[in-house]
Amino acid sequence: MSERKTYYITTPIYYPSDKLHIGHSYTTVAADAMARFKRLTGYDVMFLTGTDEHGQKIERLAREKGVPPKEYVDHIVAGIKKLWEIMDISNDDFIRTTDERHKKVVQKIFKKLYDQGDIYKGVYRGWYCTPCESFWTQRQLVDGNCPDCGRGVELVEEEAYFFKLSKYQDRLIEYIETHDEFIQPASRKNEMLNNFLRPGLEDLCVSRTSFKWGIPVSFDDNHVIYVWIDALSNYLTALGYMTDNDEKYKKYWPADVHLVGKEIVRFHTIIWPIMLMALGQPLPKQVFGHGWLVLDGGKMSKSKGNVVDPVVLVQRYGVDAVRYFLLREVPFGADGVFSNEALINRINSDLANDLGNLLSRTVAMIDKYFDGLLPAPGERADVDAELQKLAVETPGRVETIMNRLEYSNALAEIWKLIGRANKYIDETTPWILAKDDSRRSRLATVLYNLAESLRFISVLISPFLTRTPDKIRQQLGIEDKSLTTWDSLSEFGKLPAGIRVQRGEAVFPRLDVDKELKALEELQGTSEQAVDEKNAADNKEASHIAAEQQDKKEEQEAAEITIDDFAKLDLRVARVINAEPVKKTDKLLKLTLEVGNQTRQVVSGIAKYYKPDELIGKMVILLANLKPVKLRGELSQGMILAATDDSDNLALLTVDREIPGGSKIS
């Protein structure tokens, strides 16, 4: 007997964050749909997800809560697992970087790389971005700030271990150049080659001594293994690599695909393959970098914070509607916008109208014209052949498209069959056939073909929509499991005549758009945290920014400050020389300020209160030494001060007589 083909797919392991948002669900739902698709098409699948739990930030947050870090993450990880249950995620394993099985093997990997001279001890001097937990060289900084998040960095010097990325650089360039499928979509491949690999790699700092919440280096326990060696290894440790129990590793490695968001493609296509080369392991067949799901700029508001909580959406519309939207709305490699309106429209048009109506009309007509028993087909016509041909061709097309990870196109292909079946009803007009006894045989064929098409559809959608296929089968009276397999789609006409259909509730009730939009707004929790999370999602650095916001909030809550605290603020008078809206949001303005003989760009949330023209020439007060951040992709180097009241009024602070820009406020 020949062995079944295997398929190993992974999501990134998630940072423990109290509330994962819809963007996080995006990677996982996509991986799940692919895992289900491969199982359906006969593969032996290993689908892995998990959590990335170490690091200085977790250590700090746990300390602030007064609990040990493990206790702190346990609670959050339980929530993440629950979310995946709610989203019907069918992962075969869940790896935590705090699992013993992971820690032991990471130590072995580190030791092996050290023993063979690929890891060495040195002194690290460089710039450290605490929120990103990343070291950067002077050359990598952008305007003196972290190139990833735009925030400030600190100069640090400490003993550290380094991984010789540079040694493997040429091999990796050659590999990427000769393996087009390795980095997908192709644009990301060029970005890696041109921006990172060809300019030359520097050795990577892979240990820290300044915190403890990590996996200790087994031969030097002052050091903990830091970030990427720990995190990336999960794809191997979950398979039992370097243990006595390594059947899974032998069976599934190399991975077929690592699905990752675009911001971590770099780690997966540079550090990870080099680690694997150094370990003498084959590289994963593909790293696919998908885009980000961001919020509709125009609708960013505090009150909408919870709408992007996937749980709220699942509770209201069902898991299938949310999964369908995530996979259908945005082509997988590209960035996409999430909006309530787009979600509701998709539910109404594709699910309620196209799919829901096809089912309810078919079942209702079999019920009415044949007393609920599926008739055997009789008289045929040319139009039948067209529907049947499309039905048997669709599975092959969907498979080809899915192998390119084009979820949205795969669904569009399935919806062509749904559309064709709906058109078939209009063309064959069964309600007219029903009026004429001599057309009964023709009516039987039409209804049979519709029911059989729905059987095809129920199988085709099953990797994407987890609940609807059973509902369709229940209404059609399909109990025989052999009619729900992929192979059963090789032939049109397998559905046995005589099965009893059962009218049921609409699988997707039609929604009133205005009512739903209002309801979703009301459903917003008022929780600040949800809002923080949502904003964080937009800026992408979810957990990082949330943690920083938490810090800021705590700072604000401090009751008293000393004059020395005040002296830390570098407040300056500045003249606005340009002001313009920031794209895709109605909240922010981008201001160019003249501060003495310098200019600064500041992004400010005052668009609601001031028109850009009104601001030009105004003297404002700038907090000049605030850590720079990126807001909506725009660098903001400081903050201008404003007063607000409880009725949502806002007034900018200014000076009451002429004084040069750059003057210090004390």
Among 15, 161, 370, 407, contact with ligand MSP (rule: CB under 6 A): 15
Q: Which of 14, 72, 84, 415 binds ligand MSP (CB under 6 A)?
A: 14
Nearer to ligand MSP, 284 or 638 (CB): 284
The minimum distance between CB 363 and ligand MSP, in angstroms, equals: 38
Nearer to ligand MSP, 49 or 394 (CB): 49
| Cα distance between residue 219 and residue 207, in whole Å | 12
Name the one range near ligand MSP by CB under 6 A: 21-29, 85-93, 216-224, 368-376: 21-29
Kindly tell me the burial class for residue 555, based on how many C-beta atoms sit within 10 Å of its own C-beta (0-12, 13-18, 19 or more): exposed
Q: How far is the CB of 517 from ligand MSP (least distance, A)?
A: 21
Give the nearer residue to ligand MSP in terms of CB position, either 293 or 511: 293
Residue type for position 543:
S
Segment near ligand MSP (CB under 6 A); pick from 80-88, 261-269, 362-370, 403-411: 261-269
Q: Long-range contact list for 547-556, CB < 8 A, 24+ apart?
A: 547/57, 547/61, 547/131, 548/131, 548/151, 550/61, 553/528
Residue number with CB closer to ligand MSP (258 or 575): 258
CB of 21 to ligand MSP, least distance (A): 7
Name which position in 7, 8, 19, 23 contacts ligand MSP (CB under 6 A). 23
Contacts of 257 (CB under 8 A, 6+ apart): 9, 10, 34, 284, 285, 286, 287, 288, 405
Is the Cβ of residue 293 or residue 300 nearer to ligand MSP in the bound state?
A: 293
Q: Give the contacts of 232 (CB within 8 A, at least 6 positions apart).
A: 267, 268, 271, 272, 275
Closest separation in Å from C-beta 30 to ligand MSP:
9
Q: Which of 82, 94, 92, 90 is nearest to 33 (CA)?
A: 90
In the chain, % helix, strand, coil (3-state, to 5) comes to: 50, 20, 35
Nearer to ligand MSP, 45 or 542 (CB): 542
Q: What is the 3-state secondary structure (H, E, C) of 324-359?
A: HHHHHHCCCCCCEEECHHHHHHHHHHHHHHHHHHHH
Which residue, 259 or 411, is less far from ligand MSP as judged by CB? Answer: 259
Total of residues contacting ligand MSP (CB under 6 A): 20
Q: Is 288 in the site for ligand MSP (CB under 6 A)?
A: no
Looking at 104-112, 256-264, 296-304, 590-598, which segment touches ligand MSP (CB under 6 A)?
A: 256-264
CA dihedral 269, 275, 279, 285 (to 10 degrees): -10
To the nearest whole angstrom, how small is the minimum distance from the Cβ of residue 320 to ligand MSP? 20
Whether the upstream peptide bond of residue 254 has omega within 30° of 0, thus cis, is yes
Decide whether 13 or 312 has the Cβ nearer to ligand MSP. 13
Bridge partners of residue 293, in order along the sequence:
336
* Distance in angstroms (rounded) separating the CA atoms of residues 272 and 232: 6
* Nearest distance from C-beta of residue 213 to ligand MSP, angstroms: 15
* 170 touches 276 (CB < 8 A): no
**Residue 387 · residue 239 · CB < 8 Å:** no
Q: What is the dihedral of CA 487, 493, 495, 498, to 10 degrees?
A: -170
> DSSP H helical segments within 374-481, as ranges?
382-402, 407-428, 430-433, 440-460, 468-476
3-state secondary structure of 75: helix
CB of 427 to ligand MSP, least distance (A): 41
Write each residue from 483 to 522 as x if it is in contact with ligand MSP (CB under 6 A), else as -, in one continuous string: ----------------------------------------
End-to-end, the C-alpha distance of the chain in Å comes to 83
Cα distances from 446 to residues 419, 454, 477, in angstroms, run 15, 12, 18
8 Å CB contact between 379 and 448: no
Of 118, 119, 50, 136, give the one whose Cα is nearest residue 89.
50
Q: Is 257 in the site for ligand MSP (CB under 6 A)?
A: no
Instruction: Assess 590 for contact with ligand MSP (CB under 6 A).
Output: no
The greatest distance separating any two alpha carbons of the chain, rounded to the nearest whole angstrom, comes to 97
Q: Is 264 in the site for ligand MSP (CB under 6 A)?
A: yes
Interface map 526-565 toward ligand MSP (x if CB under 6 A): -----------x--x-x-----------------------
What residues contact residue 169 under an 8 Å CB cut-off, 6+ apart? 197, 200, 201, 274
By beta-carbon proximity to ligand MSP, the closer residue of 265 and 365 is: 265
From 23-31, 79-87, 115-123, 438-446, give the range in contact with ligand MSP by CB under 6 A: 23-31
For ligand MSP, the binding residue among 32, 52, 320, 413 (CB under 6 A) is 52
Q: Is 27 in the site for ligand MSP (CB under 6 A)?
A: yes
Decide if residue 231 touches ligand MSP (CB under 6 A): yes
Contact between 30 and ligand MSP per CB under 6 A: no
Instruction: Please identify, using beta-carbon distances, which residue of 231 and 530 lies nearer to ligand MSP.
Output: 231
Report if residue 232 touches ligand MSP, rule: CB under 6 A. yes
Nearest distance in Å: CB 537, ligand MSP: 4
CB of 430 to ligand MSP, least distance (A): 44
Tokens of 596: 């003495």
Residue (of 600, 615, 594, 616) closest to 662 by Cα position: 594
Among 7, 9, 13, 89, binds ligand MSP (CB under 6 A): 13
Question: Using the rule CB under 6 A, which residue among 260, 593, 622, 631 binds ligand MSP?
Answer: 260
Asked if residue 293 binds ligand MSP (CB under 6 A), the reply is: yes
Which residue is closest to ligand MSP by CB?
261
Structure tokens given for 245: 């129990």
- Quick one: which segment of 216-224, 257-265, 367-375, 431-439 binds ligand MSP (CB under 6 A)? 257-265
Footprint of ligand MSP (CB under 6 A): 12-15, 23-24, 26-27, 52, 231-232, 260-261, 263-264, 292-293, 537, 540, 542
